[in-house]
Amino acid sequence: MRIKALVLTMFIALAAIGYAGVSYAQQRVTLIIDAEVSDYLNNLAAPLLRAAELNPENVNVHLIQDNTINAFVNSQQDIYVNTGLILKAETENEVVGVLAHEIGHMKGHHILRIMNASDQVALPTILAGLAGIGVAAAGAPDAGVAVMAGSQAAGIAHLLKFSRSQEQQADQIGVNLLDATDTSSQGLKDFFSRLRTNELMYYKTPPAYLMTHPRSSDRESFLDRAQTKPHTVTKEEAARFARIQAKVAALTASTGQVRRLYMEEDSGPADYVRSIAFAMQGKYSEALQFLDKAEDKLSDDAKPYVEELRGQIALDMGKVSDARDYFEKALDMKPSSMLLRFHYARALTHTGEYDKSITQFNRVIRQRPTWWLPHYNQGLAYGKAGKKGLSHLAFAESNLYRNNAKDGLFHISIAQKYLNEDTKENGTDNTLSLQKAAQVQLELEKLNN
């Protein structure tokens, strides 16, 4: 199977926070799972989270495949950044500014507040009004327009006003967090300026009182009044951001588009992109040739991900032992990377080193307990190792975190059967596993109801 971006399609609940319009429905999104980009975004967010007195280990920044310039939060643990924001930002400081704004929502507990506020408006009124709330300008997440009348409009207007106040507060908290980390808020101002340009491209701009967010021009004015120190882009920052933009382009654009964009450029990021593009075409010899060239030009912080790419190519070529070695080398360089550990664990499964694989998956799960994918892959490793009870228990947990109660209950019943048989026939002490199975069953039954 040729190398490709690891993507997950999922549904997430969005309130009117940092997103186009107001939504109380489940939205379908596609996450891009990439160790380099994930580590990059989480590293940018970490100082801001600490300044907000939030633990970076409890918060994850995700990349969504969406061309619009946007980012949003939907819980106290998750920040979502669109690929459009990365690709259309001009500096890393812009991305940092947007992250500061979203962390401002977390610091202000706005998700809980907006949902509490929505309880004050009759749900049928909200749902009926949703049809009148749309996006007036592509790429302008603050251009939600409400077209409704009477009591319906009054109910939605209450929520829109509430949302605008939260956005203003998030702007202020974001600026405070940037100041606390000695970071310029110039990037946040530039981001709002780009949104305002998008608004002006449309001949009808909705009035401020019908918008979920303050106008971008008003937000620019706020930042003008704040003590914004200029941001000087260092050579290291520019090189790092160019590499991340190139990586996101390689993972989301067509191979032809990527090659047209970067084919004439002589740089580390360009060679890196060409390597990924050739790998995605199955042209592994060319991919490795450009990867060797890229490695000589890229900074040291890129080296773990160069080894990761070598591992992915080796895996696609069926060289599983080489793949394991490359992933192990990458993880040695960056032991804090959850996704590099995840890839290493999968490679260990391929080489038949099941006990090592299961141990590494356990470490991933400790870092991200509610992510279903390591549970699923651990289930595969347990199954290959002949541990059927633990295999089905891992599959049950995977389905629990995917909100799939039916399949989860099916697996938990099989897990309990095998764990009990193993206890009776082999005298194995499965007490802890059976206790865990009982807890997972309870959670699945709650989900099923």
What are the structure tokens assigned to 375, written together?
A: 């549970």
Does residue 261 fall inside a structural domain? no
In a domain, 438, yes or no: no
Mean pLDDT of the chain: 79
For the chain, how many structural domains are there in total? 1
In a domain, 175, yes or no: yes
**Phi, psi at residue 215, to the nearest 5°?**
-60, 145
Enter the pTM of the model: 0.78
Q: What is the pLDDT of residues 239-291, one digit of tens each?
A: 899 999 989 988 887 666 666 767 667 888 888 988 888 888 889 999 999 99
Q: In sequence order, which ranges of 298-319 are alpha helices (DSSP H)?
A: 303-316
Nearby residues of 202 by Cβ (< 8 Å), 6 or more positions away:
136, 137, 143
* Bridge partners, residue 78, by sequence: 60
User: Beta 26-33 vs 6-13: how paired, if at all?
Assistant: antiparallel
- For residue 243, tell me if it sits in a domain: no
* Secondary structure element (H or E) that encloses residue 72, with its range: strand 71-73
Q: Hunting for tokens 């946040």 — which residue is that?
A: 188
Which residue(s) pair with 80 in the sheet?
A: 62, 72
Q: Which residue has the higher pLDDT, 18 or 230?
A: 230
- pLDDT tens, 197-250? 655 444 344 444 334 445 555 565 566 555 567 778 888 899 899 999 989 988
User: What is the predicted pLDDT for the residue at 418?
Assistant: 95
Cβ proximity of 366 and 350 under 8 Å = no
CB 102 within 8 A of CB 72: yes
Q: What is the DSSP letter of 5?
A: -
Distance CA 181, CA 353 (A): 44
CA–centroid distance for 353 within its chain: 30
The pLDDT of residue 308 is above 80:
yes
For residues 3 and 316, is the Cβ–Cβ distance under 8 A? yes
Tokens, residue 330: 């990458």
**CA dihedral defined by 322, 296, 88, 54, rounded to 10 degrees?**
70
What residues form DSSP beta bridges with 81?
63, 71
Alpha helix (H) residue ranges in 72-184: 83-88, 92-107, 110-118, 123-130, 150-180
Give per-residue pLDDT as tens, 28-37. Answer: 678 888 999 9
Q: Which amino acid is at 15?
A: A
Could you read off the pLDDT of 118-175 as tens digits, one per residue? 444 444 443 333 333 222 233 333 333 333 344 444 444 444 444 667 777 888 888 8
Sequence-distant (≥ 6) Cβ neighbours of residue 169 within 8 angstroms? 104, 108, 110
- Residue 140 inside a domain? The answer is yes
Q: Are 382 and 394 in contact (CB under 8 A)?
A: yes
E strand map for 197-296: none
Of 190-194, 281-285, 323-327, the range with the lowest mean pLDDT is 190-194
Instruction: Show the domain range for 124.
Output: 6-233
Give the dihedral sign, CA 70/229/247/315.
negative
Q: Cβ distance 95 to 40 under 8 Å?
A: no
pLDDT above 90: percentage of residues in the chain: 43
**C-alpha distances in Å from residue 255, one per residue of 281, 282, 285:** 8, 11, 16
3-state secondary structure of 29: strand
Is the separation of the CB atoms in 419 and 389 below 8 Å?
Answer: yes
Alpha helices in 368-430 (DSSP H): 372-384, 388-401, 405-426
Report the C-alpha gap between 102 and 79 in whole angstroms: 7
Inside any domain, residue 218: yes
Q: Dump pLDDT digits (tens) for 59-76.
A: 999 998 888 888 888 777
- Asked if 67 and 82 touch (Cβ cutoff 8 Å), the reply is yes
Question: Looking at the domain assignment, is residue 63 inside a domain?
Answer: yes
Task: Tell me how crowded residue 269 is: count the other CB atoms within 10 A of its CB.
Answer: 24
Q: For residue 72, is it within any domain? A: yes
Q: Write out the two tokens for 88.
A: 């259309």
